[in-house]
Structure 1
Amino acid sequence: MKYTIKGEKTIFDDHYKITEGNITHDTFKGSEITVRRLAFERGDSVAILLYEKESQSLLLTNQFRYPTCKHHNGWLLEIPAGSLEKNENPKDCIIREVLEEIGYKIKNPKLINTFYTSPGASTERIFLYFAKVSAQDKISQGGGVETENEDIQLVKLPIADIHSKITEFKDAKTILALQWFLTNNQV
């Protein structure tokens, strides 16, 4: 099946961007249609599930997320994550983000998967990683980047509590990572 982007234009450009495209694509019935679609251009991101051996816990972050206020949730418990800078390698990005957010120095994160967050609306992909750390890998306070007004709390979730707590999570990448952890017996 084929598609052709007939034209694109930016209709909103601020911290994020929205583009409008006119696309002609094949249909499953064997014909062709032309549609107008919008894309939220957020850029790609990285995220990581971290297992700390000594505490037998997963390392999570708790932080304020403005968009979730629309549903009366201001703070979300989630895995460490961040946005890729232009031309940044995803592995380098996740190493930087973990140090900034929770203060751990990680080595050799393992890529689990790359996936779209909301393919009907957003161009964003998340590069999801996993790594094991030890208590000695905590080399700084973490808490986020002050100049970016980040305020991040480290939370340790004992692996014994994953089954009973997984339905309390509201962040998709975190739910996906926890399910991967349970399925793949990563301890």
Structure 2
Amino acid sequence: MKKFEEKTIKTKNIYDGKVIKLQVDDVTLPNGKTSKRELIKHPGAVAIIAITKDNKIVFVEQYRKPLEKSIVEIPAGKLEKGESPEVTAVRELEEETGYTTRNLEFVTSFYTSPGFADEHMYIYKTSQLEQLENPLEGDDDEFVEILELTLDQAKQYVEEQRIHDAKTNYAVLYLEMLGRK
């Protein structure tokens, strides 16, 4: 057994939804005792740091039901089955912002909430945006407003907690660090 590994004894599937699956696993702990783990299975997601020709960052504002408020975020969305992160990035950029790009730069990836979910988030950056003549329609249940902010404005939004999610905070910090080099 690997260091700290927990061996799954039994899995009970609780819910299989459009975005997530919920399961409860019975596990054997490294010390031989047993415990339960409530797990969210997620197909993964992509987010895009999109920079306009006039050096503004493209954001979307949308209502987030779990938070019961709207927040400002970089464009993002979940991976569809069989879709590569790069394809998802371009699709989500087009659907949410009306921009497209032919040049994506991989920045990083990370697990969003490893204590209970397996969601793996990929972050890309592009500064070669092209406005679509015929923007794609977004999801029927998704309502967004596009914002283009300077880095200083985005940092102010972080202070005001209008930007209040990990991926977007990461994007602002990343751009801040790039500016210091």
* TM-score, normalisation: structure 1: 0.84
Deviations, residues 14-64 of structure 1 (Å, cap 9, x unaligned)? 3332111112232xxxx333221010123211111111122x210000112
**Shift of residue 142 of structure 1?**
4.6
Q: Which amino acid aligns with 1:159?
A: L
Counterpart residue number, 2:43: 43
- Aligned equivalents of 1:33, 1:107: Cα separation in 2: 52
Matches for 1:15-34 after TM superposition, within 5 Å: 15=18, 16-26=20-30, 31-34=31-34
- Aligned equivalents of 1:151, 1:7: Cα separation in 2: 40
Gaps in structure 2 of 5+ consecutive residues: none
Gaps in structure 1 of 5+ consecutive residues: none
Deviations, residues 84-133 of structure 1 (Å, cap 9, x unaligned)? 00121001100011011101111221121111111112121111111113
Matches for 1:1-187 after TM superposition, within 5 Å: 1=3, 2-15=5-18, 16-26=20-30, 31-54=31-54, 56-69=55-68, 73=69, 75-134=70-129, 137-140=130-133, 142=135, 144-145=137-138, 148-168=140-160, 169-185=163-179
Q: Which amino acid aligns with 1:125?
A: H
* TM-score, normalisation: structure 2: 0.86
Q: Which amino acid aligns with 2:164?
A: K
**Shift of residue 173 of structure 1?**
0.9
Q: CA RMSD in A?
A: 2.1
Identity of aligned residues (%): 27
Change in CA separation of 1:62 and 1:164 when aligned onto 2, cut-off 3 Å: closer
Change in CA separation of 1:83 and 1:101 when aligned onto 2, cut-off 3 Å: same
